[in-house]
Amino acid sequence: MVVRCRPGIVLNSVFATVPDQRCTAVRCTASGKRSSLSPSFTHDVSPQRVVFAPGALARIGEEAERLKFSRALVVATPGSGARLGEKIIGLLGARAVGLHAQAVIHVPKAVAEAGLFAAREAKADGLIAAGGGSAIGLAKAIARDTGLPIIAVPTTYSGSEATTIFGISEGARKVTGRDVKVLPRTVVYDPDLTLDLPASVSAASGMNAIAHCVESFWADGRTPVTLALASEATRRFAKNLPAVMADGHDGEARAQCLVAAWLSGCVLSVSNGLQHKLAHVLGGLSLPHAQAHAIILPHVSRFNLQAAPEARARLAEALGSHDPAEAIANMLRQFPIPQRLSEIGFDAGKTDFVAGEIAAQSITSPRPVSAADVRELLNAAF
Identify which of residues 207 and 315 has a Cβ nearer to ligand NAD in the complex: 207
| Minimal distance, residue 47 CB to ligand NAD, in Å | 17
Burial of 287 (0-12, 13-18, 19+ CB in 10 A): buried
Asked if 177 and 165 touch (Cβ cutoff 8 Å), the reply is yes
Site string for ligand NAD, 209-248 (x = CB under 6 A): ----------------------------------------
Helix orientation angle between 289-305 and 324-334, rounded to the nearest 10 degrees: 160
What's 16's DSSP letter? -
Size of the site for ligand NAD (CB under 6 A): 32
CB of 125 to ligand NAD, least distance (A): 23
Helix ranges (DSSP H) in 197-250? 199-218, 224-246
Cα–Cα distance, 278 to 258 (Å, whole number):
25
Nearer to ligand NAD, 18 or 111 (CB): 111
Contact call for residues 287 and 382 (beta carbons, < 8 A) = no
Nearby residues of 316 by Cβ (< 8 Å), 6 or more positions away: 322, 323, 324
Name the pairing type of β-strands 186-189 and 173-178: unpaired
Q: Give residue 1's identity as a one-letter amino acid code.
A: M
Whichever of 18 and 136 has its CB closer to ligand NAD, that residue is 136
Q: Which one of 108, 131, 149, 366 is in contact with ligand NAD (CB under 6 A)?
A: 131
| Stretch binding ligand NAD (CB under 6 A), from 109-117, 201-209, 251-259, 328-336 | 201-209
Q: Which of 61, 85, 126, 132 binds ligand NAD (CB under 6 A)?
A: 132
Candidate residues 290, 296, 337, 374; the one interacting with ligand NAD per rule CB under 6 A? 290
The reply on whether position 79 binds ligand NAD by CB under 6 A is yes
Q: For residue 62, give every residue at least 6 positions away whose Cβ sits within 8 Å of its Cβ, in sequence order, or none.
A: none
Rule CB under 6 A: say whether 197 interacts with ligand NAD. Answer: yes
What track of x and - describes contact with ligand NAD for positions 348 through 377 (by CB under 6 A)?
------------------------------
Smallest CA-to-CA distance from 141 within 103, 110, 182 is with: 182
Query: Which regions of the chain does DSSP assign to beta strands (E)?
Result: 26-28, 34-36, 49-52, 72-75, 96-100, 126-131, 150-154, 165-170, 173-178, 186-189
Residue with smaller CB distance to ligand NAD, 167 or 298: 167
Task: Tell me which of 235, 289, 299, 312 binds ligand NAD, using CB under 6 A.
Answer: 289
Q: 177: which strand partners?
A: 166
Tell me the sheet residues that pair with 51: 188
Residues 10-29, one symbol each (x = binds ligand NAD by CB under 6 A, - = not), give: --------------------
Per CB under 6 A, the list member of 12, 21, 24, 160 interacting with ligand NAD is: 160
Applying CB under 6 A, the span of 11-19, 155-163, 214-222, 311-319 interacting with ligand NAD comes to 155-163
Assess whether the previous peptide bond of 366 is cis (omega < 30° from 0). Answer: yes
Find, among 137, 49, 129, the residue nearest to 84 by Cα. Answer: 129
Which of 155, 272, 301, 304 binds ligand NAD (CB under 6 A)? It is 155
Region near ligand NAD per CB under 6 A, out of 44-52, 200-208, 305-313, 368-376: 200-208
| Out of 24, 186, 194, 264, the residue judged to bind ligand NAD by CB under 6 A | 194
Tell me the C-alpha to C-alpha distance, in Å, between residue 165 and each of 184, 265, 327, 358: 11, 10, 29, 20
Sign of the CA dihedral with 21 first, then 22, 23, and 28 last: positive
Q: List the x/- string, 243-272, binding to ligand NAD by CB under 6 A.
A: -------------------------x----
Which residues lie near ligand NAD (CB under 6 A)? 77, 79-81, 105-106, 131-135, 137, 155-156, 158-160, 163, 165-167, 193-194, 196-197, 201, 205, 208, 268, 283, 289-290
